[in-house]
Structures are given as C-alpha cells and as structure tokens.
Structure 1
Amino acid sequence: MATVVATGAPRKGRARRVRTPSERRELWAALAFISPWIVGFLVFTAWPVIYSAYLSFTDYDVINDPSFVGLDNYRQLLEDPKIRISLWNTFVYTVFQVPLLVVISLGLALLLDKAGRAAGFFRTAFYLPNMTPLVAVGVLILLLFNGQEGLINDVLGVFGIDGPNWTTDPQWVKPAIIAMSLWSVGSSVIILLAALRNVPQELYDAARVDGAGFWRRTVSVTLPMISGPMFFVFVVNSIAAFQTFTETYTAFFGAGNTTYGNDAALFYVIYLFQQAFQFLNMGYASAMAWLLFVIILVVTLVQLRVSKRLVYLEGEQR
C-alpha cells in the first residue's frame, strides 16, 4: 500500500481556536456569575496576604504609617522566647490531637457502618457538636475541667480518682484542651463513613473466603481502600490544629482573663493575635503569620511525600 506523505510548509504551532459569538457570551455570563467571588477573593484574601508580606518588613502600630525596618521582625522571631514557647505548645497539641482525632473518627465510622438503619440518627448526633460555637466550647472547657467543681473530676471521684487541676496545672492544661477538641470529630466521621461505604463488597467477600476475620479484613482491605480519605482528614486537621485559637483563647485569655492564662495554653496563633491586636505590633504579627505559613507548608509537603508510600490510589500503577 502506498504511503501518502503530506506536503506543504510545516506548522510552527497549534492554530489558535477562535471562539464563536455564543461561546464568548457564555464565557462572559460565567465570569459575571462568579464575579462576586472574584472580587471578594481579591479584596479580602489576595490583597491582605500581599499587604501582610509588606507589613512583615515594617514597624506598624495601626496609628502611624508603616516604617520599613528590613529583616528586623524576622530577627526578633529568633530571639523572642514566647515564640519558642508558643510553637512548642502548638506542635505538642498537633502531634497528639490529630492522630487521636483520626483514630476516634475511624472507630466511630466503623461502628456507624455496622449500625444499619440507626446510622442516620447517630450520624446526625455525632455531627451536631460541630454546630456548637467555638466560644461556647471554650466556656465548656472551664465548666467541665474545673479542678474543684468540674464534671470530669466529679466522675473521676466516683471511681476514687482524685482529678487534677486541669485548667491551672501547666502539665494538664494541654491534655484538657486536646480532650475538649475531640468534641467536634463529627465532620471527620462523616467523611470516613462515606469512604467506608464506597469500599467494594467483593473485596470483603474474597477475604472471608480466604478465612480473614474482622481485624484482618480491616487491616488488609478497609484501611488501604480508605487511605486516601484518611490522609485528607489527617492533612486538613493538621492545618486546623496549627491554627487553633478560639476555644483556647476564650477559656484561658478571653475578656481580660488573667486567672487561668498561662504559658501552657499559649498557642502560636494566640500569641500572634496578642501581638497584632493587644500590643498593636502589626509588622511583627505579620512576620509571625508568614512564619506559620512556611511551617504549615513544610509540614504539608512532608505529609504529601509520605503519602506516596502509604496512600492507595485506585488505578494507580505501583
């Protein structure tokens, strides 16, 4: 069979496709519909981010104009002992809170997956605490974990255990905050439950034929198949843990509270808030914000790197 060879000048690039009038109208209509979001993003997100980067190199107290100080704010970050304390508190909180939240969420999701018709009721019940305002959660910390009259110590007293001073003893402040943060596991439970419902039943049937029990099926089938959603939950909650603020600030620092305020509860974002809105060191607070951004970025990139070995993606060649 003869081969037909095209002749003519070679094309130097792909020809630009010209949109039809109807396509242009659809494009402008789409832009018009999303324009409120675009304007809101530019005004309330993009511009503040860019401006905070500029402020991080200035001395700015809100009242007077910013004055350029170069890298002084970033040098001060290395010398400020409160930065080290707040970062340590934040890392400790994140390291313990996030794995606990994921494990508890997974356990509840596994139970709900076996609940049958009652799953709808319990799914709603587990999610309702997420609707609680974080300020109210901060108040609950003081009510439940009060060393003298708190409900937690009253329950421990029934079993003959003398409960600690959760809100005043520096060794027990963070465990109290971590325990209270587990109040809002509902959203993670819903995500993991949806993932469990999408695991192919044939895999469980094959495992049963091979004689695998519940725990073996969970380790060999369930966890690999939902590793993607679990990783998502882990990353999202890690980012949220680094930015924890409202409930802790309400419980230990809010409304001029100096009785319970101590360094054990001083998280990084709380110290950032104090620098910005109590001491009016906006330039220094902006530098703190960019340091937090870099820390979260590095932690997330490390998690993404680790996920390549631990997370199963359906259809991916390994």
Structure 2
Amino acid sequence: MTIHSNDPVDPVVQVPLSGQGQFANPTIWLSASSHDFGNVWVAADGKANWRLRIANTGNQNLEIVDLILNNPAFSVSGFSGLPIVIVPNDTVSVTVSFLPTDTLTYLDTLLVGSNDPANPFVSVSLSGRGILDDYTTGYVFWNYQVPDNPRSGSSQDYEVDGLQTINDINGDGVGEVVIATENYWLLCLDGNSSGTPDTLWSFNTYISNYSAGSIGQTWDYGVQDAIDIASDLNGDGYNDVVIATGGGNEHVYAVNGTNGEMLWQYGTDDPNSYGLGDFEAVDAKRDFTGDG
C-alpha cells in the first residue's frame, strides 16, 4: 500500500501488506492424486516408499479418520494413530509403501477420510509392478535426484559431495545411505529401496545468504573426508553423522543418525568469517577422552 501526504520529509510511504486466504471449514489438500511406484523387486529384495503430504487449508482443525487400502501389497505408515489432527495451515506426511510378492502389476486406491464437509473422502490411485531378475554387475536397484533446497533460492547445485553408509534405522534389516550435497543438504536415504528411495531425514546447512556451507570445498580432492560416521554419540544404540562445512558457515556438526536432529555444533556462522578458512575434514572414529 502506498500512502501519499504533505509530509515534507516522507511524502510517500510504502506499507507492505500480506495475507493468506482460508476456507471456513476444515479443508483437505493432498500433494498428489496418483502415484506409480514403477518396477519394484519382489518380496524382501525390494520395497518402495513414497511420502504423501496432507494439508489443511481451512480455519478449523482437520481430522484424518480413515486411511483405507484393499491390496495388501500397499500399506500406510508414519503416524502414531487415527485420527491425525492437522491444525489450520499445517501439513503432515504419511509414508505409502509398496511391497510386491509376485511378478504382477498391482493396483489399488487409497481412500483418505476426514471431517472435511465438502470432501469427506478423497482418493489416491496407486500402481506398481513386481519384478524378479537376476542380479548382474552394475544393476541399478534405485536412483535418487537431489531436491531443491528452498532456502537457497535459485542457487541450486545438485552435486553429491560426500556419501557414507549408516546402520539400519527403520527396522527393515538393511543399512541406509547418507549423502551431503553442494546445495547444503545432508540427507539419509532408505537403503532398502527400489526405484526411488524414501528420504528418512534431512539436515540443512544453509543459514542465510551470507552463512551457507556445504561440506569441504568442491575444488578439493578430499571432500569425502568432510563426512564421517560416528559410533553412537548420544547412547541411543545407533550411529550418528559428523560433517565439516565451509563457505561462510564454518562448522562441525554432529547429527543424530536416527532423525537428522543436531546433537551439537562447533564453529561460527558469522558472515565475516570467510577469511578464517573452512573445516575440510573430520575424523569421528577415535575416542581421545576415553569416555567410550
């Protein structure tokens, strides 16, 4: 809004205005109306996961009261129980999984029931195919596209700077894969995947335009040295991840291996810290203090 007046010092004043429209009732929104899991290995050799986001665009609490599937090859998890209560303008995610038991094409419809008076049931069409081939050298079990980092705007470099494996954190008996990317992500991917792996957790090292750090330096040969797996730093029985960053966010971060939450940090994100140099390597395998 622009205000004009006879004020000799400030004759024109700009007042920024913003707002968000809301529906008058609980209103459901889904991130997709269909999903194809593609080719997935049969039985224990493969399991594909997909995150379905459910949002409430109304001004009253949305309650998800039913998540109905008919084909046992598909399942829904990632929530503690029903109803799932979503407050206005909030979003939750559930994990839809596909575990084929035969070399067939599978179809199903996920029905999402809620207290949305206009749409008490909304549907998501699901499909997938079970495959069973010989394992051959170079066979691609799954592949992953690094996502945009919403904090870094148009500055997106999808290069994977470092990769490590970590022990099983989701109980499927297969270890997970942790990657650090040039667009400031630390991501844990489900190792027991087929097609596209599920992202189990993420950690963001982009703080601001002046304080953003990926691991090591892209022109160094030792970037892989800036990510390491530590043997259970917080006593929960799982390994954790330690990374070293530079480029305005000079830090060593210790990250919980089960959920991606920061355990501790050391360093600075002062925008004037460029001249101090970067953390370019970490070693989390030695106990120097004798505390185990």
Name the TM-score class by shorter chain.
under 0.3
Q: TM-score, normalised by structure 2?
A: 0.22
Which structure has the bigger radius of gyration? 1
Higher relative contact order (CA 8 A, sep 6+): 1
Q: TM-score, normalised by structure 1?
A: 0.21
Which structure shows the higher helix fraction? 1
